[in-house]
Amino acid sequence: MSCMSSLILITTIFRMKTFEELNVDNPQLHSERSPPQPAILGKVPEIPTEKSKALNEAWAELEKQEWYHGMIPIEDVKSVLHGNGEFLVRKIDNQNKTTPPVLTVLWDDTLFHFPIYGNQKSDGSGMEFTLNTVNYCPNYSEVINLHVYQKLPIFSEVILVKGAPKQVIIKVIRKS
């Protein structure tokens, strides 16, 4: 995929269809009292698709990683990353697992943010995930590990050196 087609992919916005437009006839999904709801992959389908199953599996694997921080505010990211190549992966949408996770890496005192995209394989056999549209892996975690262990640049000279582990915050409550 060329840089131009990547740009087009990133900037394309799709209008979501309502149940009525999809011609869904299932009383559990909507009622006369509730307004039409958008059909969002991962939330609406009663029968999960192969794509939604693959995305859920990829997210489940990602959430096990010590460098996955979930919904961490960008202000906190700045305090977690200290040296060139230190990185973490974060979630940017709490409700929707179809929004790609974002890899944030510190390089030359600048935070770089890279979405980790999932695409349907060309043969239709499942999903593949990438940071740079060059190297593809079967899940989010393997894409990160590929770049860490093989020192593959993500952009220009930016490489992943070390994942920043989640920080445990302990509150001490004193009883009087």
CATH 3.30.505.10 domain span(s) along the chain: 49-163
Confidence band for 36, pLDDT divided at 50, 70 and 90: very low
Q: Which residues contact 144 (CB under 8 A, 6 or more apart)?
A: 65, 67, 87, 89, 103, 116, 131, 160, 163
Confidence band for 102, pLDDT divided at 50, 70 and 90: very high
pTM for the model: 0.67
Q: Does domain 49-163 have CATH number 3.40.50.2300?
A: no
145-157 pLDDT tens trace = 999 999 999 988 9
pLDDT at 93: 84
pLDDT at 29: 39
